[in-house]
């Protein structure tokens, strides 16, 4: 527990009578001034004088630096891979789940000589979606609609500050505790026994590290936006003013999430019969020591030079739903009646004022003289009594079928929607709501295949009209088609499967990890000064 009194912070930890650390107000102020949570939900780290700050932190306590050596041993490509029972844990929206369905289908496909047994565990909302693809389903806790509303309100997964995570305590606890049955309980429909021999998860599937440790099985992370520290760009959920300290943003994000979930995590570890993790342990939820595959095209964003062999950028993992899609007759007829339309939709993002946003869209289409397809999504976009003849209101349609029939796309910037638009050759405007959506909007703009992103709070008729005109420029279309061809030549699913197999350990199950009792005794500022140096100054001897 922690208490504040007399201008000093007192931190108490249990075990052997407890460990007490007293830190003076000057030192506390360094940390408080270092990190600020902005109105858009991102973390801003003020490190204009980062070298001086690191020096001051180092003065707090100068214990030997933590080892920076990570052994990144990977197995050969030609090794024999046994048939495994694999649990895939995914927390997020439909766009987060979809690429993992593609991965699951390939892993279990007998024609590729893998033939693994795959269980995909995600929110109950997606049961039909998963099972219709021929993949076994198991429910994870948490409601993606509630999570999306929370993230939209706070502009991030938990970045309204650690204290505000209490708003989502029920959701977080459900997610963490549900990974145990997802990896070890029989099938809910058939009763067939299941115990995972390997786990694939995305970072928001909190609890993945701990269930893997308890079962003694390998864990492979896959995700749709960067979570591995790099000097090339900051964490998508953070702001960093200087490139020299981009790595620090990843540490800060890990800490924010760890501090907000540590109680649930340790309760869960007790249930798993694992030792608790100390409050200010060197553990802070990082995935940097785990094999990780990123599901975006290296043509959109190459693998950073400082990511080692544990990390792969595998490419987009497309499910290709459009091949079997039969469009409603009215949609086919409307598409044939005129030039290619502008697609506008925000997927799973909730809208605070859907009528206002719809009005902005209609006025911008009218001003630019364009036809438009408006996708309702979870935000109930397109709410008006009379539908103009040059506008079609869409309930549901696979993007890989629809986008090739569109002139351009305006969307929220989710990784899946972004991928579908780019491979279809659609110039793209991102209207981000939170998180990585800003990141992908900036990447699209940097590639010249779309204008600068327009945050949903700044969406106006003028801004959207200008964006539409930008996308209709022939040079922009040409650049987008070049990128589409490059992405089309990739096979992200095959690369993801290869990455998973390549990083499997030679022997299963895994040996239990060694106890780090002494390392757990580091107090916060001993650890923070060392970790800050590691993040910001990895080139130091």
Domain ranges of the chain: 85-316, 321-488
| pLDDT for res 385 | 67
* φ/ψ of residue 496, rounded to 5: -65, -45
The pTM of this model reads 0.82
| 280 neighbors 524 (Cβ within 8 angstroms) | yes
For the domain made up of 321-488, give the CATH fold: Rossmann fold (3.40.50)
Beta-sheet pairing, 8-13 with 19-23: antiparallel
| 271 neighbors 283 (Cβ within 8 angstroms) | no
* φ/ψ of residue 140, rounded to 5: -100, 160
Reported confidence tier of residue 284, pLDDT bands at 50, 70, 90: low
| pLDDT for res 210 | 96
Structure tokens at 485: 């061809």
| pLDDT for res 43 | 56
| pLDDT for res 388 | 86
Average of pLDDT values for 268-283?
Answer: 85
Residues 436-443: contacts with CB within 8 Å, 24+ apart? 436/224, 436/225, 436/236, 436/237, 437/412, 437/413, 438/42, 438/236, 438/413, 439/225, 439/226, 439/236, 439/413, 440/225, 440/413, 440/414, 440/415, 441/413, 443/300, 443/301
For residue 345, count CB atoms less than 10 angstroms from its CB and return exposed for 0-12, middle for 13-18, buried for 19 or more: buried
% residues pLDDT > 70 (the chain):
72
Structure tokens at 225: 């936006």
Reported confidence tier of residue 158, pLDDT bands at 50, 70, 90: very low
Beta-sheet pairing, 2-5 with 408-411: unpaired
**In whole angstroms, how far apart are CA 483 and each of 138, 254, 405, 471?**
37, 33, 17, 15
Average of pLDDT values for 313-324?
Answer: 92
Q: What is the crossing angle of helices 94-108 and 492-502, to 10°? A: 70
pLDDT tens digits, 439-495: 999 999 999 999 999 999 999 999 999 999 999 999 999 999 999 999 999 999 999
Residue in the structure block whose two tokens are 């504040």: 4
Reported confidence tier of residue 33, pLDDT bands at 50, 70, 90: low
Return mean pLDDT, the chain. Answer: 81
Establish whether the linkage from the previous residue to 509 is cis, with ω within 30° of 0.
Answer: yes
Class for the domain spanning 85-316: alpha beta
For residue 261, count CB atoms less than 10 angstroms from its CB and return exposed for 0-12, middle for 13-18, buried for 19 or more: buried
Q: Between 210 and 350, where is the model more confident?
A: 210
pLDDT at residue 423 greater than cutoff 60: yes
Q: How far apart are CA 411 and CA 449, in angstroms?
A: 14
Name which of 14-28, 41-55, 443-457 the model is least confident about: 14-28
Q: How far apart are CA 93 and CA 5, in angstroms?
A: 43
| 229 neighbors 247 (Cβ within 8 angstroms) | yes
Average of pLDDT values for 12-17?
Answer: 34
Reported as half-sphere exposure (CB side, CA atoms, 13 A), residue 46 has a value of: 10
Nearest in space to 529 (alpha carbons), one of 67, 26, 69, 62: 62
| Alpha helix segments (H runs only) across 109-236 | 127-132, 144-154, 169-184, 208-215
**In whole angstroms, how far apart are CA 76 and each of 122, 403, 414, 497?**
32, 39, 34, 14
Structure tokens at 303: 């693998």
Average of pLDDT values for 391-419?
Answer: 95
Residue 123 has a CB neighbour count (10 Å cut-off) of 27
């Amino acid at each position: 527990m922690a208490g504040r009194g007399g201008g000093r912070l007192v931190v108490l930890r249990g075990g052997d009578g407890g460990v007490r650390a007293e830190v003076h107000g000057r030192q506390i102020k360094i940390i408080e001034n270092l990190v600020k949570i902005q109105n858009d939900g991102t973390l801003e780290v003020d490190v204009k004088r980062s070298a001086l700050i690191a020096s001051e932190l180092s003065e707090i306590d100068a214990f030997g630096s933590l080892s920076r050596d990570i052994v990144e041993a990977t197995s050969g490509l030609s090794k024999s891979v046994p048939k495994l029972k694999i649990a895939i844990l995914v927390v997020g929206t439909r766009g987060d789940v979809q690429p993992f369905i593609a991965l699951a289908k390939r892993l279990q496909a007998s024609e590729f000589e893998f033939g693994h047994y795959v269980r995909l565990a995600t929110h109950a909302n997606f049961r039909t979606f998963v099972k219709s693809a021929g993949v076994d389903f198991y429910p994870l806790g948490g409601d993606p609609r509630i999570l999306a509303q929370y993230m939209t309100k706070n502009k991030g997964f938990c970045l309204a500050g650690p204290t505000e995570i209490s708003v989502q305590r029920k959701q977080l606890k459900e997610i963490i505790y549900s990974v145990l049955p997802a990896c070890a309980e029989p099938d809910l429909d058939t009763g067939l026994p299941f115990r995972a021999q390997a786990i694939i998860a995305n970072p928001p599937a909190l609890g993945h590290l701990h269930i893997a440790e308890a079962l003694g099985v390998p864990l492979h992370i896959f995700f749709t936006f960067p979570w591995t520290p790099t000097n090339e760009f900051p964490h998508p959920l953070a702001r960093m003013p200087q490139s020299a300290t981009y790595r620090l943003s990843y540490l800060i994000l890990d800490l924010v999430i760890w501090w907000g979930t540590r109680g649930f995590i340790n309760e869960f570890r007790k249930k798993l019969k694992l030792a608790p993790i100390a409050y200010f342990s060197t553990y802070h939820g990082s995935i940097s020591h785990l094999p990780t595959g990123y599901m975006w095209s290296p043509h959109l964003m190459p693998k950073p030079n400082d990511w080692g062999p544990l990390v792969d950028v595998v490419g987009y993992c497309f499910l290709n739903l459009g091949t079997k899609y039969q469009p409603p007759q009215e949609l086919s007829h409307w598409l044939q009646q005129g030039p290619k339309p502008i697609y506008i939709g925000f997927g799973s993002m909730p809208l605070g004022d859907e009528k206002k946003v719809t009005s902005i869209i209609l006025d911008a289409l009218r001003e630019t003289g364009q036809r438009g397809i408006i996708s309702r999504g979870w935000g109930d976009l397109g709410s008006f009594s009379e539908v103009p003849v040059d506008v079609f209101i869409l309930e549901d349609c696979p993007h890989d079928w629809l986008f090739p029939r569109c002139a351009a796309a305006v969307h929220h910037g989710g990784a899946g929607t972004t991928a579908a638009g780019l491979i279809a050759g659609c110039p793209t405007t991102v209207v981000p709501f939170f998180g990585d959506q800003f990141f992908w909007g900036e990447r699209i703009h940097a590639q010249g295949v779309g204008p600068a992103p327009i945050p949903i709070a700044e969406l106006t008729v003028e801004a959207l009209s200008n964006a539409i005109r930008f996308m209709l420029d022939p040079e922009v279309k040409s650049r987008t088609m070049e990128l589409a061809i490059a992405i089309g030549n990739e096979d992200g699913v095959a690369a993801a499967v290869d990455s998973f197999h390549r990083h499997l350990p030679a022997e299963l199950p895994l040996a239990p990890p060694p106890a780090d009792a002494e390392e757990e005794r580091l107090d916060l500022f001993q650890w923070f000064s060392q970790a800050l140096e590691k993040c910001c100054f990895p080139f130091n001897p």
